[in-house]
Amino acid sequence: MRPVVARCEVVYTGRLTARLPEAVRLLMFKADGSAV
């Protein structure tokens, strides 16, 4: 896994709509490119 620390905002639209405001977040990426 590759950890990435980033300042980001998250906007999700699907069955529901959700928004996380800008913040420092830990993102984890697996070897196949998917995120955890």
- pTM confidence score: 0.65
pLDDT value at residue 26:
97
pLDDT value at residue 34:
94
Please, which pLDDT band fits residue 28 given cuts at 50, 70 and 90? very high
In the block, which residue shows the tokens 């990435």? 4
Range of the domain at 17: 1-31
* Residues whose CB falls within 8 Å of the CB of residue 33, separated by 6 or more in sequence, listed in order: none
Total structural domains within the chain: 1
pLDDT value at residue 36:
87
Structure tokens at 2: 């590759």
Flag whether 24 is in a domain. Answer: yes
pLDDT tens-digit profile of 3-27?
999 999 999 999 999 999 999 999 9
Flag whether 9 is in a domain. Answer: yes
Flag whether 11 is in a domain. Answer: yes
Flag whether 36 is in a domain. Answer: no
pLDDT value at residue 21:
98
